[in-house]
Amino acid sequence: MTRTNCNVADYLLEGKPDERIALRLLGEERTYGDLRHAAQTFADYLNALGCRKGDRILLVAENSFFWVAAYLGMLRAGMVCVPLPTTISPEDLTHVFAVTESRAIAAQARFALKHASLFQARHLITDQAIKAQSLPSLLSNAIFPEIASTAVSAPSSGVAVDANDLAALMFTSGSTGKPRGVMVSHRNIAANTESIISYLNLTETDRIMTVLPFHYCFGASLLQTHLRVGGSLVVDSRFMYPEAVLQRMLETECTGFAGVPSHFQILLRNSSMGKMAFPKLRYVQQAGGHLAPVFIQELRQTLPNTQIFIMYGQTEATARLSYLPPKFLDRKPKSIGKGIPGVELSVIDDAGKNVHPGELGEIVAEGENVALGYWHEPAETASTFRNGKLHTGDLATIDDDGFIYVIDRARDFLKCGGKRIGCQQVEDQLKEFECLLDAAVLGTPDEVLGEAIEAFLVARMPDCPAFEECFRAFCKRQMPSQLIPSKFAILPSLPKNNYGKVLKQKLRTSER
């Protein structure tokens, strides 16, 4: 990025040979030359529609060449990408349209057909052709392959932008239940990308198995870091069939894998990964939530020659805030480590002072990756982003070496019999039961204790008739009495969002 042009699309694509493979998709490969050409033609098309620098453009599609080209094209044109999951509800989509005032949307054809009634008076770009009668009155409708096949008269740089200009609005669940847009700048993306590349030691020889969606900040960080170094991404959205993903990792000689806790729980306890060898797998990244220490131990045993990076982050930090170097996994398995390069992390008490080892406080972050705030949410922005620092809402403590240990979200504690108990603490203990695939804990009203512990369990072998008996025996044998759930329910799966995080509010209702 230069002083005169901080456009992150140029920052990601510059200097790579046209013929080098960037994306290894199911059934096709795409080079850096393909990405450059498609991004430029996409940017040119948006400009021809009358869209201008700073306009918000929605992007709704699964991981694909279409998604990457549209994303880079929007950035190249100086516009603001609004990536959304294909599972977004009509209500939330209507809300996002309203708050972003988007007049254009790039969408997968089947998604466009599903939500056709919402696209009136907008420009629509789809990945494949749709019958005109299936769509409402649009301002225009174009097909991506036709746009990408357009000739580019001469290579050019992206639209000049300031480092603090918006690059993306990353929508997360807000406190009111409505999606809330995190304002991510070109500087934010570049800073976080450089930092992640630094501590992972990424190079052009790296090739990552990509099962995380690009609309998620963790998935976007995989795309951005590997494009920046000139590496490649093996894109595979078939994680419902983990054996197929593992086999493709071997066939494509992946050097990296990244996932959220649920990915690793499935791979370790419901796949054949433990019986396989991955000689090219250099590193594994885990973020997107807390992975219980017992799973970290199992991962170390399963991949003894692979570096395992346990990481912590938030959408409000573009993606990443901290990491635990692999050499500390055995000594500090419950720690999230320290701030990544360029990020200062502190744990402060209610008076704003740094806590001492063993004391509880909130994690606060400072760095160029900290987002600009929430889109059209001044009160929430003022509460979370104070004096240029991100107040994460996560409660933690530190040890004598300054390593940070997340205890839980501020709102995820129970008060049982006058004692404060973190749900994460109980969940970690439960997951040590080897017959368990997943677990979540809530507080349930109790006349004596105030709150009692209720557990929701997913069995490794759903049809095992002895599961309940074995689980009760495990709790009695292995867990402190105050942490044993007073009641539990066995579910086929836990309700989760698009990023693999448990939706505890659904567990509190009948939606189970």
What is the C-alpha separation between 409 and 466, in angstroms, rounded?
Answer: 34
> φ, ψ for residue 137 (rounded to 5)?
-70, 110
Type and span of the H or E element at 221 = helix 217-229
E strands, 211-331, in order: 232-235, 256-259, 283-286, 307-312, 322-324
Q: Which two tokens stand for residue 13?
A: 């694509």
Tokens 């994680």, residue located: 239
Nearest Cα to Cα of residue 72 among 42, 33, 34, 102: 42
Are the beta carbons of 258 and 173 closer than 8 angstroms? no
* Torsion sign (Cα): 239, 242, 243, 247: positive
DSSP β-bridge partners for residue 60: 84, 107
What does each C-alpha distance from 254 to 127, 257, 358 come to in angstroms? 28, 8, 40
Q: Report the distance separating Cα 87 and Cα 171, nearest Å.
A: 13
Q: Are 363 and 403 spatial neighbours (Cβ–Cβ below 8 Å)?
A: no
Residues 80 and 3: their CA atoms lie apart, in Å, by 20
Helix (H, G, I), strand (E, B) or coil at 80: strand
CA atoms within 13 A on the CB side of 378: 0
Q: CA torsion sign, 247 to 250 to 253 to 256?
A: positive
Domain boundaries, the chain: 8-184, 413-508
Q: Which residues pair with 82 in a beta bridge?
A: 58
Domain range 8-184, CATH class: alpha beta
Say whether 413-508 and 8-184 share the same fold: no
Q: Is the dihedral of CA 317, 441, 471, 476 positive or negative?
A: positive
Nearest to 453 by CA among 411, 478, 489: 489
The DSSP bridge pattern shows strands 21-25 and 343-348 to be unpaired
**The one-letter amino acid at 493:** S
Per-residue model confidence as pLDDT tens for the chain (512 residues): 544 578 999 999 999 999 999 999 999 999 999 999 999 999 999 999 999 999 999 999 999 999 999 999 999 999 999 999 999 999 999 999 999 999 899 999 999 999 988 888 899 999 999 887 777 788 889 999 999 998 886 657 778 999 999 999 999 875 556 889 999 999 999 999 999 999 999 999 999 999 999 999 999 999 999 999 999 999 999 999 999 999 999 999 999 999 999 999 999 999 999 999 999 999 999 998 889 999 999 999 999 999 999 999 999 999 999 999 999 999 998 999 999 999 999 999 999 999 999 999 999 999 999 999 999 999 999 999 998 899 999 999 999 999 999 987 656 777 675 566 778 888 888 888 888 889 888 887 765 566 788 889 998 888 888 888 888 888 888 888 888 888 888 999 888 876 677 887 788 775 44
Residue 171: what pLDDT? Answer: 95
SS (H, E, C) 100-119: HCCCEEEECHHHHHHCHHHC
What angle (nearest 5°) sits at the alpha carbon of residue 100, between those of residues 99 and 102? 130
Terminal Cα distance for the chain, rounded: 48
E strand map for 97-173:
104-107, 123-126, 140-143, 166-173
Q: Would you state the pLDDT for residue 3?
A: 47
Pairing of strands 56-60, 80-84: parallel
Residue 286: what pLDDT? Answer: 96
The answer to whether 130 and 112 are in contact (CB under 8 A) is yes
What are the DSSP E strand ranges found in 227-271?
A: 232-235, 256-259
Query: At 25, which helix (H) or strand (E)?
Result: strand 21-25
pLDDT for residue 506: 81
Residue 67's SS3 state is helix
Superfamily of the domain at 413-508 = ANL, C-terminal domain (3.30.300.30)
* Helical ranges in 303-406 per DSSP H: 378-384
Phi, then psi, of 463 in degrees rounded to 5? -95, 10
CB burial of residue 307 (10 Å; 0-12, 13-18, 19+): middle
Strands 450-459 and 404-409: what pairing? unpaired
Residue 243: the pLDDT is 97
Write out the two tokens for 35.
């990405």
Structure tokens at 314: 């938030």
Q: What is the pTM of this model?
A: 0.87
Assign 304 to helix, strand or coil. coil
Q: Using CA atoms, how far apart are residues 236 and 64, in angstroms rounded to an integer? A: 9
